[in-house]
Structure 1
Amino acid sequence: MTKVKICGLTSLADAQAAAEAGADMLGFIFYPRSPRFVEPAHAAAIIASIQHMALPVRTVGLFVDAPLPEIQETLRRCRLDFVQLHGGEPPHLLEMLQPQAFKALRPTSLDEAAAEAEWYADLGPPEGPQLLLDAYHPQLHGGTGQVGDWAIAAALAPRYRILLAGGLTPDNVRQAVRQVRPWGVDVSSGVEAAPGQKDHDKMRRFVAEAKRGNV
């Protein structure tokens, strides 16, 4: 069954609604330039509440070229399950964050995607995704609403545990799952009422449609 990650959460109400909708992973963005940025102390409080509710979800922290000590401190403070590195981080940084870190790729071609997958995939956590494949944008690091290249993703999906991201919505995620057959899907802007504010009905629809894509 396809895993679902809902990213860019900034409130307990949205995180709880995502978990209750059936999301497998909740994503928190620790990149200050993102409109979905959340302070570590606030994320820690949200995650502690979710864990207290015993909701069956894993938590993911997203970082963009952050210093290793900052990542490690946030990982500890928020009790994150996984770390998603979404910048230009080198493989040795992932090695230092194992067994929890995986790399987000924004390839411009299949050759580039295949080469980067060779560098990073084996460093991914054994119980989570090996890679996240996002739409390419020259300046922005995710959350753009641009649809990713499903053909590239489909070429890599049989070999790697891929989280497919980039422009997914409740209206296209079922087709994306059927075409790509990824390990999981990742959504942020596609289930929002405004940046950092989730639409609970869209989240429920997204999870349901993603899971139906396997049928």
Structure 2
Amino acid sequence: MVKVKVCGITNLEDALASCEYGADALGFIFYNKSPRFIEPEKAKEIVKAIPPFVTTVGVFVDEGANTINEIVKKIGLHAVQLHGNESPEFCEGIQSKIIKTFRIKGARVMGIGTGEQGVNKEMERYNVSAYLLDTYKEGVEGGTGATFSWGVAKDAIKAGKIILAGGLTGENVKQAIKIVMPYAVDVSSGVEEMPGKKDLKKVMEFIETAKGAI
């Protein structure tokens, strides 16, 4: 069964409801330019209140390694998601399991290193726990609401555990899962009333559909 991560959690109500509906993981964004940004202290209170078997993930964009490690330890997060241009060498300094994001445009990874690279070739450079594939949109770090070619993601599963993101909704997640067969799917804007506030009916429907897809 495919796992589900609900990202962009900013309040306890959305966190508890997502857990109740069957979310396997929750994502907290510690990037202050995001409309889904949450202060570490607030995230800590939410993490304390959710069930113990739900994975908690801190999302960072080109943040310093020391800051990331401090926030992870302070809150008690299970993993970090690096959503910027972090290098393989940078990842070695992170004292936690890492999900590395690769933003896809066409069949290329954008924004990491010296420019555009083939997806599998770029992923092979990283020794991380999982790879999250998201849609590239200039000036936007996640939550784009746009999809990319799922065939690219399907081909990438040979490199490791793939978390599929990018414009997923309750309407398209079943098809996406059947095509890609990912380790997990990640949703944020696709289940929102507005940035930072989830539509709980959409959350429930998304999780039910994803869990029942295969």
Q: Could you state the TM-score of these two structures normalised by the residue count of structure 2?
A: 0.92
Fraction of identical pairs, as percent: 45
- Paired letter, 2:128: G
Residue type of the partner of 2:35?
P
Deviation string 1:110-151 (CA, Å, 9 cap, x unpaired) is: 56211211112xx223xxxx1000011121111010112201
Distance in 1 (CA, whole Å) between partners of 2:44 and 2:59 is: 14
Q: 1:91 aligned to 2:88?
A: yes
Given that residues 123 and 159 in structure 2 are in contact (C-alpha distance below 8 angstroms), is that contact kept between their aligned partners in structure 1? no
* Corresponding letter in the other structure for 1:178: K
Unaligned runs of 5+ in 2: 109-116
| Paired position in structure 2 for 1:132 | 132
Q: Equivalent residue for 1:102? A: 99
Structure 1 Cα separation of the partners of residues 47 and 95 of structure 2: 21
SS of alignment partner, residue 135 of structure 2: coil
| Runs of 4+ that moved beyond 4 A | none
CA contact (8 A) 2:146 2:167 kept: yes
Whose strand proportion is higher, 1 or 2?
2
1:57 matched to which residue of 2?
Answer: 54
For 2:3, the equivalent position in structure 1 comes to 3
Q: 1:156-206 deviations in whole A, cap 9, x for unaligned?
A: 124420000000000100100001100000000000011000011111100
SS of 1:16's equivalent in the other structure is: helix
Q: Is the 8 A contact 1:99 1:124 kept in 2?
A: no
Q: CA deviation at 1:99?
A: 4.3
Paired residue for 1:112?
A: 118
Structure-1-length-normalised TM-score:
0.92
Superposed CA RMSD: 1.2
Aligned length: 205
**Aligned partners of 2:17, 2:52: CA distance in 1, in Å?**
11
The 1:55–1:204 alpha-carbon spacing in structure 2 relative to 1, beyond 3 Å, is farther
**Greater share of residues in helix:** 1
User: In structure 1, what is the equivalent of residue 196 of structure 2?
Assistant: 196
Trace 1:35-46 onto structure 2 (pairs within 5 A).
35-46=35-46
